[in-house]
Chain A
């Protein structure tokens, strides 16, 4: 499990407008590039100080590559990060609050307790 790395992907993509568009248009390519080039960047440090051990597990890589926010919730991704990024990518294709409500409806099968988001 690398919930932290899923969250790091969502966090770093969300704050970069170009990456948000790139992930919207090419999720498979963006996730592959990000895992190869960015996953081990220690934020605010030079590349010589990169982390050496972070990688996705296959279900995590796949959920991100498929824009599968339901699966991300199940895997324990931080729901605020997922929601914020997915609204940024897809709200524009829908009417007011339509996307947010559809997003909630697709989660209807989850009952308490929800998947643990602790990293």
Chain B
């Protein structure tokens, strides 16, 4: 069966690409520290030597629209073009082309449907920065085939937080039952507290540092019970009006497992929002395994 060699949860900050490539006066003062943290985070994926990436993100009203809005959608295509005009315009993101793994997409769809998730699908999906940001930060070669999974954290009515956790748990079971010996990394991105288009946007820190502190604790300790007991669709309005993106972190906690402590945790306090990076190795750290083999 396939093996999940890494589970990674991250914020997706669309300004990273521009900040990290800027030079001279255009380079923000926090860029060097940010790049160093991203390169260390990237190493946690590299050392896991994945063959295929299952990528969880959320379309930001790019291809998915209110006339036809899926709650959970799996891409099934041989290729995925990426990034939209307004992401190039606002964030300077490049156009990209990623390979797909249709076999795994089909498997996730079939098994997911049979497990009780009425997954939508797309055979022609242009993916946005919720998935390309982690490609840029974690696998800039963009050389591995992907299976994109989109969630609706954006257009109410939204699924309940527990549904994201349940889907995460099922994704793990499905991948681990996929016949073959592929090495799969599951990478999902969301937000901590975030405000967009409201009074608390673009402050010196994220809109709710206390929520961020608790969120990092929930994620890094795998405290699904604690998180689910304190997070609801209503409560997520309080830390910031775009904080429902935190539910993608909850989905990744579901993939990582109940009480699974993250093997790697890092954060970076930036203006507007806090960055947070987590990696789990479900079968032990790759370095430790090499030592055992030796």
Contact = CB atoms under 8 A, between A and B. Distances in A.
Partners in one complex: yes
Interface of A: 4, 7-8, 11, 14-15, 17, 42-43, 69, 73, 78-84, 87-88, 97, 100-101, 103-105, 107-110, 112-114, 117-119
Contact of A113 (B84, B156, B203, B237): B237
Given A11-B65, A43-B65, A118-B157, A88 B201 contact: no
Contact of B202 (A100, A108, A113, A114): A100
B156 A73 contact: no
Contacts of B181: none
Contacts of B84: 15
A108 B195 CA distance: 13
B154 interface: yes
Interface residues of B, number: 28
Contacts of A11: 61, 65-66
B241 A79 contact: yes
B85 A15 contact: yes
Contact of B66 (A8, A80, A114): A8
B67 A43 contact: yes
A2 to B, nearest CB: 12
Interface of chain B: mostly helix, strand, loop or mixed: loop
Interface of B: 60-61, 65-67, 84-86, 89-90, 154-157, 195-203, 237-238, 241-242, 271
B202 A101 contact: yes
A79 B66 CA distance: 14
14 contacts: A11-B65, A42-B67, A73-B197, A78-B61, A78-B155, A79-B198, A79-B242, A80-B197, A81-B61, A83-B197, A100-B202, A103-B201, A114-B241, A118-B157
A80 B62 CA distance: 12
A87 B202 contact: no
Contacts of A114: 198, 237, 241
Nearest to B207: A104
Contact of A87 (B60, B65, B90, B157): B90
B265 to A, nearest CB: 28
Contacts of A108: 199
A105 B201 CA distance: 9
Contact of A117 (B156, B202, B271): B156
A109 B198 CA distance: 10
A11 B197 CA distance: 15
B90 A80 contact: no
Given A15-B84, A73-B198, A118 B156 contact: yes
B57 to A, nearest CB: 15
